[in-house]
A and B are shown apart, each in its own frame.
Chain A
Amino acid sequence: KAGVTQTPRYLIKTRGQQVTLSCSPISGHRSVSWYQQTPGQGLQFLFEYFSETQRNKGNFPGRFSGRQFSNSRSEMNVSTLELGDSALYLCASSLVAGVQYNEQFFGPGTRLTVL
Protein backbone atom coordinates (compact mmCIF):
# COMPACT_ATOMS: atom_id res chain seq x y z
CA LYS A 1 0.00 0.00 0.00
CA ALA A 2 1.42 3.39 -0.92
CA GLY A 3 2.24 5.76 1.90
CA VAL A 4 1.22 9.36 2.42
CA THR A 5 2.22 11.51 -0.52
CA GLN A 6 2.95 15.21 -0.31
CA THR A 7 3.51 17.51 -3.26
CA PRO A 8 5.56 19.39 -4.00
CA ARG A 9 8.50 18.28 -1.89
CA TYR A 10 10.26 21.63 -2.12
CA LEU A 11 8.93 25.07 -2.78
CA ILE A 12 10.44 28.56 -2.87
CA LYS A 13 8.19 31.60 -2.65
CA THR A 14 8.61 35.29 -1.92
CA ARG A 15 6.99 37.33 0.80
CA GLY A 16 3.41 38.30 0.07
CA GLN A 17 2.74 35.39 -2.25
CA GLN A 18 0.38 32.57 -1.48
CA VAL A 19 1.06 28.85 -1.62
CA THR A 20 -0.95 25.63 -1.80
CA LEU A 21 0.40 22.32 -0.55
CA SER A 22 -1.18 18.97 -1.29
CA CYS A 23 -1.46 15.75 0.69
CA SER A 24 -2.76 12.41 -0.54
CA PRO A 25 -3.50 10.05 2.37
CA ILE A 26 -3.04 6.33 2.43
CA SER A 27 -5.80 4.62 0.48
CA GLY A 28 -8.84 4.17 2.69
CA HIS A 29 -7.77 6.76 5.24
CA ARG A 30 -10.27 9.52 5.81
CA SER A 31 -8.54 11.73 8.36
CA VAL A 32 -5.76 14.13 7.44
CA SER A 33 -3.82 16.33 9.84
CA TRP A 34 -1.26 19.03 9.07
CA TYR A 35 1.74 20.09 11.13
CA GLN A 36 4.32 22.85 10.79
CA GLN A 37 7.91 22.10 11.79
CA THR A 38 10.38 24.94 12.37
CA PRO A 39 13.69 25.07 14.25
CA GLY A 40 12.32 27.70 16.61
CA GLN A 41 8.80 26.49 17.36
CA GLY A 42 9.23 22.78 16.73
CA LEU A 43 6.29 20.69 15.57
CA GLN A 44 2.96 22.44 15.83
CA PHE A 45 -0.50 21.21 14.93
CA LEU A 46 -2.25 23.21 12.23
CA PHE A 47 -5.57 21.47 11.62
CA GLU A 48 -7.29 18.14 11.09
CA TYR A 49 -9.88 17.21 8.48
CA PHE A 50 -12.21 14.25 8.48
CA SER A 51 -14.88 13.57 5.89
CA GLU A 52 -14.33 17.02 4.32
CA THR A 53 -14.94 18.80 7.65
CA GLN A 54 -12.38 20.59 9.77
CA ARG A 55 -12.44 18.73 13.03
CA ASN A 56 -9.74 20.49 15.00
CA LYS A 57 -7.63 23.61 14.62
CA GLY A 58 -4.37 24.80 16.13
CA ASN A 59 -3.32 28.32 17.06
CA PHE A 60 -2.37 29.73 13.69
CA PRO A 61 -3.54 32.95 12.05
CA GLY A 62 -6.30 32.94 9.49
CA ARG A 63 -3.72 33.10 6.67
CA PHE A 64 -3.44 29.35 7.14
CA SER A 65 -6.38 27.44 5.77
CA GLY A 66 -7.12 23.99 4.51
CA ARG A 67 -9.70 21.80 2.92
CA GLN A 68 -10.38 18.17 2.21
CA PHE A 69 -11.94 16.70 -0.88
CA SER A 70 -14.37 13.81 -1.23
CA ASN A 71 -11.48 11.46 -2.08
CA SER A 72 -9.84 12.45 1.26
CA ARG A 73 -7.01 14.35 -0.42
CA SER A 74 -6.26 17.54 1.44
CA GLU A 75 -4.74 20.87 0.60
CA MET A 76 -3.46 23.61 2.83
CA ASN A 77 -3.09 27.19 1.74
CA VAL A 78 -1.00 29.97 3.19
CA SER A 79 -1.77 33.46 1.97
CA THR A 80 0.38 36.58 2.24
CA LEU A 81 3.51 34.60 3.03
CA GLU A 82 5.90 35.85 5.71
CA LEU A 83 9.54 34.90 6.24
CA GLY A 84 8.50 33.04 9.39
CA ASP A 85 6.34 30.69 7.35
CA SER A 86 9.49 28.96 6.10
CA ALA A 87 9.12 25.46 7.48
CA LEU A 88 8.65 21.80 6.80
CA TYR A 89 4.94 21.11 6.48
CA LEU A 90 4.00 17.58 7.41
CA CYS A 91 0.79 15.78 6.65
CA ALA A 92 -0.44 12.72 8.53
CA SER A 93 -3.29 10.39 7.69
CA SER A 94 -5.30 7.93 9.72
CA LEU A 95 -8.28 5.68 9.08
CA VAL A 96 -10.78 7.72 11.04
CA ALA A 97 -10.92 10.46 13.64
CA GLY A 98 -12.56 9.87 16.98
CA VAL A 99 -12.09 9.25 20.64
CA GLN A 100 -10.39 5.93 20.03
CA TYR A 101 -6.74 5.78 19.12
CA ASN A 102 -6.03 5.82 15.40
CA GLU A 103 -2.45 5.43 14.26
CA GLN A 104 -1.25 8.33 12.18
CA PHE A 105 1.15 7.88 9.27
CA PHE A 106 3.26 10.83 8.24
CA GLY A 107 4.31 11.91 4.78
CA PRO A 108 7.82 13.13 3.92
CA GLY A 109 6.78 16.76 4.12
CA THR A 110 6.94 19.82 1.90
CA ARG A 111 9.87 22.14 2.57
CA LEU A 112 8.69 25.72 2.03
CA THR A 113 11.24 28.52 1.83
CA VAL A 114 10.01 32.10 1.85
CA LEU A 115 12.47 34.71 0.56
Chain B
Amino acid sequence: AQSVTQLDSQVPVFEEAPVELRCNYSSSVSVYLFWYVQYPNQGLQLLLKYLSGSTLVKGINGFEAEFNKSQTSFHLRKPSVHISDTAEYFCAVSERAAGNKLTFGGGTRVLVKP
Protein backbone atom coordinates (compact mmCIF):
# COMPACT_ATOMS: atom_id res chain seq x y z
CA ALA B 1 0.00 0.00 0.00
CA GLN B 2 1.17 3.50 -0.67
CA SER B 3 0.93 6.62 1.48
CA VAL B 4 1.44 10.32 0.87
CA THR B 5 2.60 12.90 3.39
CA GLN B 6 2.32 16.61 2.88
CA LEU B 7 4.59 18.14 5.45
CA ASP B 8 2.87 21.50 5.79
CA SER B 9 -0.83 21.83 6.49
CA GLN B 10 -0.80 25.61 5.95
CA VAL B 11 1.59 27.90 4.11
CA PRO B 12 1.13 31.66 4.31
CA VAL B 13 3.03 33.56 1.62
CA PHE B 14 3.15 37.13 0.37
CA GLU B 15 2.08 37.98 -3.15
CA GLU B 16 4.93 37.74 -5.70
CA ALA B 17 7.02 35.64 -3.30
CA PRO B 18 8.05 32.07 -4.15
CA VAL B 19 6.35 29.09 -2.58
CA GLU B 20 7.29 25.43 -2.15
CA LEU B 21 4.87 22.74 -1.03
CA ARG B 22 6.47 19.55 0.16
CA CYS B 23 5.25 16.04 -0.60
CA ASN B 24 6.78 12.69 0.31
CA TYR B 25 5.38 9.32 -0.62
CA SER B 26 6.00 5.70 0.13
CA SER B 27 5.20 2.81 -2.15
CA SER B 28 6.59 -0.63 -2.83
CA VAL B 29 5.75 -0.37 -6.53
CA SER B 30 6.17 2.16 -9.31
CA VAL B 31 3.76 5.06 -9.10
CA TYR B 32 2.49 8.02 -11.01
CA LEU B 33 2.61 11.33 -9.09
CA PHE B 34 0.21 14.25 -9.22
CA TRP B 35 -0.54 17.65 -7.78
CA TYR B 36 -4.13 18.87 -7.69
CA VAL B 37 -5.56 22.22 -6.65
CA GLN B 38 -8.94 22.78 -5.03
CA TYR B 39 -10.53 26.21 -4.90
CA PRO B 40 -13.33 26.85 -2.38
CA ASN B 41 -16.54 24.97 -3.15
CA GLN B 42 -15.03 23.33 -6.20
CA GLY B 43 -13.68 19.97 -7.25
CA LEU B 44 -10.06 19.12 -7.92
CA GLN B 45 -8.10 20.42 -10.89
CA LEU B 46 -4.94 18.73 -12.11
CA LEU B 47 -1.91 21.03 -11.88
CA LEU B 48 0.73 18.63 -13.15
CA LYS B 49 1.75 15.01 -13.27
CA TYR B 50 4.86 12.85 -13.36
CA LEU B 51 4.54 9.69 -15.39
CA SER B 52 8.11 9.00 -16.49
CA GLY B 53 11.09 10.70 -18.09
CA SER B 54 12.33 14.13 -17.04
CA THR B 55 12.14 14.62 -13.31
CA LEU B 56 11.25 18.29 -13.64
CA VAL B 57 7.62 18.63 -14.57
CA LYS B 58 5.92 21.85 -15.61
CA GLY B 59 2.23 22.38 -15.10
CA ILE B 60 -0.45 24.99 -15.45
CA ASN B 61 -0.48 28.45 -13.86
CA GLY B 62 3.33 28.59 -13.62
CA PHE B 63 3.71 25.65 -11.23
CA GLU B 64 6.43 23.04 -11.51
CA ALA B 65 7.45 20.00 -9.49
CA GLU B 66 10.53 17.85 -9.21
CA PHE B 67 10.46 14.10 -8.75
CA ASN B 68 13.26 12.79 -6.56
CA LYS B 69 13.25 9.01 -6.52
CA SER B 70 15.95 8.58 -3.90
CA GLN B 71 14.15 10.86 -1.47
CA THR B 72 10.69 9.70 -2.59
CA SER B 73 9.61 13.31 -2.88
CA PHE B 74 7.60 15.36 -5.33
CA HIS B 75 7.75 18.98 -4.18
CA LEU B 76 5.70 21.67 -5.88
CA ARG B 77 7.08 25.15 -6.55
CA LYS B 78 6.01 28.45 -7.99
CA PRO B 79 8.52 31.32 -8.31
CA SER B 80 5.98 34.12 -7.83
CA VAL B 81 2.49 33.61 -6.42
CA HIS B 82 -0.65 35.61 -7.04
CA ILE B 83 -3.64 36.23 -4.82
CA SER B 84 -5.57 33.86 -7.08
CA ASP B 85 -3.27 30.99 -6.01
CA THR B 86 -4.98 30.95 -2.62
CA ALA B 87 -6.37 27.42 -2.50
CA GLU B 88 -5.75 23.96 -1.11
CA TYR B 89 -3.18 21.79 -2.85
CA PHE B 90 -3.12 18.01 -2.82
CA CYS B 91 -0.31 15.66 -3.70
CA ALA B 92 -1.45 12.22 -4.92
CA VAL B 93 -0.05 8.94 -6.19
CA SER B 94 -1.47 6.05 -8.11
CA GLU B 95 0.09 2.64 -8.64
CA ARG B 96 1.02 2.11 -12.26
CA ALA B 97 -0.80 -1.20 -12.38
CA ALA B 98 -3.82 -0.27 -10.29
CA GLY B 99 -5.96 1.74 -12.63
CA ASN B 100 -7.28 5.09 -11.58
CA LYS B 101 -7.23 4.80 -7.79
CA LEU B 102 -5.58 7.88 -6.29
CA THR B 103 -4.09 8.07 -2.80
CA PHE B 104 -3.99 11.65 -1.56
CA GLY B 105 -1.94 13.52 0.99
CA GLY B 106 -3.64 15.55 3.67
CA GLY B 107 -3.49 18.79 1.69
CA THR B 108 -1.67 22.10 2.10
CA ARG B 109 -3.69 25.26 2.41
CA VAL B 110 -1.91 28.19 0.73
CA LEU B 111 -2.92 31.67 1.77
CA VAL B 112 -1.46 34.42 -0.39
CA LYS B 113 -1.32 37.77 1.38
CA PRO B 114 -1.16 41.13 -0.42
Contacts and interface: CB of A to CB of B under 8 A. Distances in A.
Interface string B76-114: 000000000000001010001111111111110000000
A108 B99 contact: no
Interface residues of A, number: 28
Interface in A50-73: 50, 55-56, 58
B102 A45 contact: yes
Contacts, number: 62
**In terms of DSSP, what is the predominant structure of the interface of chain A?**
strand
B99 A48 contact: yes
A92 B36 CA distance: 13
B99 A104 contact: no
A78 B100 CA distance: 22
Contact of A99 (B51, B96, B105): B96
Contacts of A48: 99-101
A12 B104 CA distance: 26
A33 B100 contact: yes
B44 interface: yes
Nearest to A46: B101
Nearest to A109: B43
Interface residues of B, number: 24
Interface string A98-115: 110111111111000000
Nearest to A105: B46
B99 A98 contact: yes
Contacts of B49: 101, 103
Given A99-B96, A101-B32, A45 B43 contact: no
A4 B99 contact: no
27 contacts: A33-B100, A33-B101, A33-B102, A42-B106, A42-B107, A43-B102, A43-B104, A45-B102, A48-B99, A50-B99, A92-B100, A97-B99, A97-B100, A99-B96, A99-B97, A99-B99, A101-B49, A101-B51, A103-B49, A104-B46, A104-B100, A104-B102, A106-B36, A106-B44, A106-B45, A108-B41, A109-B43
Interface of A: 4, 31, 33, 35, 42-45, 48, 50, 55-56, 58, 90, 92, 94, 97-99, 101-109
